[in-house]
Each structure stands twice: as structure tokens, then as C-alpha cells.
Amino acid sequence: MDLILGNAISWLFQPITAAYALAAIGIALHFGFTGLLNFGQAVFMAVGAYGFSISVKFFGLGFWPAVGVAVIASIAMAFLLGIPTLRLRSDYLAIVTIAAAEVFRFIVSTTSAQPVTGGPQGLNQYSEGFYAMNPIPVGHYKFWVWDFKQDDLFAIAVSWLVVTFFAVLLAILIRSPWGRVIKGIREDEDAVRSLGKNVYSYKMQSLVVGGLMGTFAGILFVLPTSVQPGNYGTTLTFYIWTILLLGGASTVIGSIVGAMIFWSLLSLTGDLLSTGVDNGTITFLTQNQVGAIRFMLVGVALMLLVIFRPQGIFGNKKELYFNA
Amino acid sequence: MPSQIAIGAAVPGCAKVDPILIADNVRRQFGGNVAVDVEHVEIPRGLITALIGPNGAGKTTFFNLLTGFDQPNSGDWTFDGVKLAGVPAFKVARMGMVRTFQLTKSLNMITVMENMRLGAQKQPGESLLRALIKPLWKRNEDAITARAAELLTRFKLDAKSDDFAASLSGGQRKLLEMARALMTQPRLVMLDEPMAGVNPALTQSLLEHIRGLKNEGMTVLFVEHDMHMVRNISDWVIVMAEGKIVAEGPPNEVMKNPAVIDAYLGAHHDSDLGTEKQAKGN
């Protein structure tokens, strides 16, 4: 039991959780504050993951230059997606982003791209430069049921440092006059235009900044593991949206807590079910079905949440009352 | 009065002594339908000009064209001598030509005060990088807030300052939209049906506010249906019908103009001009 609980609790601070939280903060800026429907956050994460890992593996760059390449690629991607769509109605951005994410995934996973992107196998072993910066002495660090290596601790610490940095950045931005313009655009962009603001430029800035958050999330996502093209499908984007709506779309902290709850819940339900199946308490399921069932349970939990608390955990209920 | 406004007779497209806005050959077509076809019109500076006409006359389309919210098929217009054709809407607003909308556009999920602050120009904190450093924009923000509070008091919205704009009544939203437009410190205020859907008591206060703008030296151009309102408040009336300017002149004279009566009332010549809704025509 301790192990199950420990497992679930460990998902509160895993680097993966941090990566999802950061990607969700990105779409909080896009959707919650600017009203941009970005249904392709996966592409910004993929750009981060591939931009970074290809720079290291294929071009032999160091850690920081590789991060720089990912950042430049992310900005380029934001412009590529934004220039044709941001003058149009918001649904066009949604269509283009979701398509771009799929196109990107198919391109990197083709066998002809294998020498660069690793094709369907993806890439691994590009994190040496990152772990070389680890100041934590080599060894095993045991707390309660957990057993961390120095590299695990380093990845956790860096991940949450990055998340905190961007969360604070966004909190400052949305409380500034810049954030006021952004929120105005969410409400009615023609009104904001009539007040002398360059709406197109603001939407582009929002797309770039939120996309950069997705890109850093992509780097955090792959640093402790490997790059798998299959990870960057539409499900990734929808998990991030789930996390966003769980925590509350127009909040910063909501994305972080949403990611923690999402992953802990997933781990807890999965572990509980599979233990139940193992010791014979649950007889109507097989071990293979558990993986699918837990997503169903999480889905039901989210449906209940949307019905009974549509503003998300941290959302302002007042904002919904008026939304006639 | 009229002799001081127009040069020569008050005919459609007549020249003004001191025009602030001059439009030439502005034409907008939607498919085969010509929505706006204005040969020449001048808006006198420092006065209240009403743009009237029956539904579908092209008034709002003309507004959209002048303010950059729509692009004409052809035409030129200048604001204070600056050519505006092809200039995007936000730049038009920055030049001092601000507009409101027929369907009120209050920004519902932000507070009344934030709505107001949004109207202010040249706030350095609206740039992405400077937004991060509060000392760079704090002082400007305080000045904006003071100005906004003053305007809100004038428009009797000060008690609502921290509420979401969504909690305002329809009339209050009209007031907020007007107050917010004034935050841009405009020279020309263009109001698209400011009195539509507002109760009579509030209409009076809206009219007072419009007069107030004139007294502060601003030029007002507004679209309206109701001739009674127009007569009370405007110095000059321009009548549009089927996309064209059909008459111009001081309010009392325009209403006697047969072209206006035709455009407005069709067959119902003897109806009261003030009740356009019933009379509007065939």
C-alpha cells in the first residue's frame, strides 16, 4: 500500500509532470488569457524535443546551444502557424495547429529521416551535457519508499525550477498592461483594435511566448528519457488541455496543480486496479484491461468535474456566471 | 449658424469652412450590391454631425470604411490632412479618430476600470518586454488610473469601477464604451447608434455627454435613426440612402427636404419623422 501511495505521490513532482504543467501554462496563455485556440501544443513540445536532441546528436552541439536551437525553431514554428491564421477567426488557428502537429510527427517518424531524427525509433542519449552540470554528489538518495539517483534529483529540481520561472513570468505578464491588452483581445478583438492596439501583433506575441513554454516543456519531457515520435500525437495535446481545464483555464497555478492531480490520479487508479487484479479481489478485469480502464476512470472524473465545477479547481466562478 | 458651417448652399457633398474629415469616391461593393458609394463628403470640425438614413443605407458600412475596419473597393479620405485609405484600424484610432460600435463591445470578463485603462495610449507597459519591469510603467499607470476614475465619475460608473463589465446594464455598457473611447484622447469621436436600446432617461444623459464632448473641443459624428434626437443635438445632418449622400444641412432644414422625406418615409409622408421604426420604408 505504501508503495502504491508512494508511487502516486511521486507523480506530484516527476519531471514528466513538470513538463505537462509547463505545456499547460503555455496554453493557459494562449486560450485562457488571449482566447487563441491552440490544439497543437504537441508540435511545440516536439519542436523542443527534436530541436534539442537533433542539435546534440546530429550536429554535436553542447547543451546550451542546443537549447538555443530549440528556442529559435519554436519561434519560427509560431510564426509559421500564426502568420496565415491570426488575421482569421480563431477556429482557423485550431485547425492549422492540430494539423501541423500531425504533419510534424509524420515527418520526423519517416524512415527516410532516420539518420537525423531516428525515424520511428526516435532518439536517445543526448542528455550527457545536461547531467554533466549536476552538482549533486553521486549516490542513492532514499526517502520513505523512494530511491533516487543523483541524476533523478537533478532532473526534478531543474524541471520545477523552469516551471516556476515560467509561471512567475506569466503571472507578471498577465498583471501588466500587456496582459490587459491580451485579455481584452480574448473578450473582443475589434473593441481592442478600435482603441489603437495592434491586435495581430499581440496575438503573435502570445503565440510565440506560449509556444516557447511548450518547447521548454518538450525539452524537460525528454531530458530524463528518450525522444519517441509516437508521444507527440493528438493525445498529448488533449492531455494538456485536460490538465488546463482541470485546474482552470484562466489561472497560472491551475495548470501546475492540474498536472499533478492528473498524473497522480492516473497512477493511483492504475496501481490500485492492477494490485486488485493480482491478489484476486478484482475478478472481472485482466491485467491488460487495467491500462485502458484507468483512462476511462480519469475521463469520468473529468466529466464530473466539468459538470459540477466548470471553472476548474482554481477558476473564478464569477467569470462563469456572466458567460451567457 | 449654417452659413458658418458650409461654403455655399447646403447641397449633398458641399464643402465646409473647416473640415476635419474629407472623403472622396468611397465605394464598397458586396457582390453586385453597392453598399456605399459616397462621392464627396466633409465633416465640419468641432461640431456634432449626425449621419442619418433608413436601415440598409450604408451608414455603418461607411463608418467601418472610414475607421479601417473594412476596406473599400476604391476611394480616398483624409483625417486632418492625413490620408487614411489602407491604414489599419488600430492606427486610425491612434491618430485620434476613435469609434464605438452599434452592438456594444464592452469587454465583459475584465473589470470596468481595466476596460477604461485599455483605452489609454502610449502605455509603455503594453510592450512585452517592458511589461516585466513594473517601475517602467507604474507611473504612467497611475496617471491613466486617475484619468479613468475622473471619466467614470463623469459617466456615473465610478461605483462599478471594480466590477466585471458583464455586470453592467445595457445602457451602462453604452456609457462605458463611450468613456473608454474618450480614454484614447480623440479629436474625432464616431458613435455608431449611441442611443440604440437605451431607456429615455439614460438617452438624455447620453445626449448631455455628447454635448459635453463638443464643449471640450472634440468633433462628433454619430449614426442615428431617431430624428427627434438628431434635431435636439446636432449642428449638421448628413442623410444617406442606398449608399449615397442624398441631403445635407442644418437639422431643421434637412427634415423639410423632399429627398429626405422620400428616403426615410417612402409613401408615408404624413407620419411623424420621430417614429422611424414604424415609418421606415418600402
Contact criterion met (CB < 8 Å) for A322 and B167: yes
Maximal C-alpha separation, chain A? 68
Which pLDDT belongs to residue A159?
95
| Average pLDDT over all residues of chain B | 87
**Does A285 reside within a domain?**
yes
SS3 A172: helix
Instruction: Give me the amino acid identity at B168.
Output: L
The DSSP H or E segment spanning A319 is helix A317-321
Instruction: Name which of B71, B105, B115 to mutate to probe chain A: the one with the most chain A Cβ atoms within 10 A of its Cβ.
Output: B105
Give the full edge-to-edge strand order of the sheet including B74-79.
B33-44, B19-30, B74-79, B82-83
Give the pLDDT confidence score for residue B266 in this predicted structure. Answer: 63
Residue B190 is predicted with a pLDDT of 95
- B133-177 per-position pLDDT tens digit: 999 999 999 999 999 999 999 999 999 999 999 888 888 899 999
Asked if residue B266 and residue B184 are part of one domain, the reply reads yes
What b/e string do you get for A255-286 counting C-beta neighbours within 10 Å, with b at 16 or more? bbbbbbbbbbbbbbbbbbbbeebeeeebeeee
In this structure, are B91 and B126 located in the same domain? no
Q: In terms of C-beta density within 10 A (0-12 exposed, 13-18 middle, 19 or more buried), how is residue A173 classed? A: buried
> Mutate which of A169, A173, A180 to test chain B, going by most B C-beta atoms within 10 A?
A180
Tell me how many degrees the CA angle B78-B232-B179 measures, rounded to the nearest 5: 60
pLDDT at B225 over 80: no
B104 — pLDDT class (breaks 50, 70, 90): confident
What is the predicted pLDDT for the residue at A270?
Answer: 84
Same domain, B223 and B175: yes
Predicted pLDDT of residue B188:
95
Pair B88, B226 in one domain:
yes
Question: What gap in Å lies between CA A229 and CA A215, rounded to an integer?
Answer: 15
Would the pLDDT of A214 be above 90? yes
pLDDT band, residue A10 (cuts 50/70/90) = confident
Place of cell 481592442: A192
Q: pLDDT band at residue A146, thresholds of 50, 70 and 90?
A: confident
C-alpha A11/C-alpha A23 separation (Å) is 16
Q: Which residues contact A146 (CB under 8 A, 6 or more apart)?
A: A6, A10
Q: Tell me the C-alpha distance between A319 and B3, whole Å.
A: 54
Residues B204 and B95 in one domain: yes
HEC per residue, chain B = CHHHHECCCCCCCCCECCEEEEEEEEEEEECCEEEEEEEEEEEECCCEEEEECCCCCCHHHHHHHHCCCCCCCEEEEEECCEECCCCCHHHHHHCCEEECCCCCCCCCCCEHHHHHHHCCCCCHHHCCCHHHCHHHCHHHHHHHHHHHHHHHHHCCCHHHCCCEHHHCCHHHHHHHHHHHHHCCCCCEEEEECCCCCCCHHHHHHHHHHHHHHHHCCCEEEEEECCHHHHHHHCCEEEEEECCEEEEEECHHHHCCCHHHHHHHHCCCCCCCCCCHHHHCCC
Task: Name the DSSP class of A112.
Answer: G
* pLDDT score for B115: 94
pLDDT of residue B171: 86
Question: What are B38-70's pLDDT values in tens digits?
Answer: 999 999 999 999 998 888 889 999 999 999 999
> Which pLDDT score is estimated for B97?
94
Q: Please determine, for residue B2, whether its predicted confidence score (pLDDT) is greater than 90.
A: no
Same domain, B190 and B82: yes
Distance CA B54, CA B156 (A): 32
Judgement on whether residues B163 and B212 belong to the same structural domain of the protein: no
The answer to whether residues A49 and A104 touch, using CB atoms and an 8 Å cutoff, is: no
- Domain extent, residue B121, equals 112-167
In a domain, A163, yes or no: yes
* Domain end point (choices B167, B186, B208): B167
Measured at the CA of A135, the angle between CA A132 and CA A139, to 5 degrees, comes to 90
Output the pLDDT for position B280.
41
Under DSSP, is residue A146 helix (H, G, I), strand (E, B) or coil? strand
Query: What does the pLDDT read at residue B106?
Result: 86
Pick the more confident residue, B258 or A244. Answer: A244
User: Would you give the end-to-end CA distance of chain B in angstroms?
Assistant: 34
Residues of A in contact with B89 (CB under 8 A): 190, 193-194
The proportion of chain A whose per-residue pLDDT surpasses 70, expressed as a percent, equals 97
With CA atoms as reference, the chain A residue closest to B182 would be A195
Give the pLDDT confidence score for residue B93 in this predicted structure. Answer: 94
Q: Which residues of B touch A190 (CB under 8 A)?
A: 69, 89, 101, 105
Q: Is the pLDDT of residue B73 over 90?
A: yes
Pairs across A and B, CB distance < 8 A: 107
Give yes or no: residues B95 and B150 share one domain: no
Parallel/antiparallel/unpaired status of strands B97-99 and B188-192: parallel
| Whether residues B191 and B247 fall in one domain | yes
Q: Residue B274 has what pLDDT?
A: 55
Query: Rounded mean pLDDT of B177-203?
Result: 90
| Domain identity same for B132 and B60 | no
Residue B10 maps to which CATH number?
Answer: 3.40.50.300
**Residue B108 contacts A where some CB pair is shorter than 8 Å:** yes
* pLDDT tens string A119-143: 888 888 888 889 989 888 888 888 8
Is A193 close to B183, i.e. CB distance below 8 A? no
Task: Write down which residue in B127, B144, B167 finishes a domain.
Answer: B167
- Beta strand pairing status for B219-224 and B188-192? parallel
Beta-carbon separation of B131 and A179 below 8 A: yes
Is residue A324 in a domain?
no
Whether residue A79 is predicted with pLDDT greater than 80 in this model: the reply is yes
* Pairing of the two strands B82-83 and A146-149: unpaired
Report pLDDT digits (tens) over B200-215: 888 888 889 999 999 9
- Give A291-298 contacts, CB < 8 A, sequence gap 24+: A293/A269, A294/A266, A294/A269, A294/A270, A295/A266, A297/A269, A298/A262, A298/A265, A298/A266, A298/A269
Q: B99 and B186 share a domain?
A: yes
CA separation, residue A85 to residues A91, A95, A210, B91, B146 (Å): 9, 9, 16, 21, 38
In this predicted structure, the answer to whether residue B275 has a pLDDT above a threshold of 90 is no
User: B181 is written with which cell numbers?
Assistant: 473611447
Return the C-alpha cell found at A283: 475478478
Find, in chain B, the residue whose alpha carbon is nearest to that of A322: B166
Q: Is the pLDDT of residue B181 over 80?
A: yes
* pLDDT above 60: residue B269: no
Please tell me the total count of domains within chain B: 2
CATH of the domain at A136: 1.10.3470
Cα pseudo-dihedral A261, A266, A270, A271, rounded to 10: -30
pLDDT at site A293: 83
At residue A324, the pLDDT reads 37
d(CA B273, CA B256): 10
pLDDT tens by residue, A157-213:
999 999 999 999 999 999 999 999 999 999 999 999 999 999 999 999 999 999 999
What distance in Å separates the CA atoms of residue B260 and residue B251, rounded to the nearest whole number? 11
- Model pLDDT for residues A83-119, shown as the tens digit of each residue: 999 988 888 999 999 999 999 999 999 988 888 888 8
Do B178 and B247 share a structural domain? yes
How many independent structural domains does chain A possess?
1
Looking at the predicted structure, is the pLDDT value of residue B276 above 50? no
Between the two ends of chain A, the Cα-to-Cα distance in Å is 47
Residue with cell 539518420: A115
Hey, which residues 121-160 in chain B have their CB within 8 Å of chain A? 121, 123, 125-128, 131-132, 134, 137, 141
Inter-chain touch A193–B98, beta carbons under 8 Å: no
Domain ranges, residue A159: 2-319
Helices A41-57 + A199-222 axis angle, to 10: 50
What pLDDT does residue A299 have? 80
Task: Enter the ipTM.
Answer: 0.87
Question: Does residue B268 have a pLDDT over 80?
Answer: no
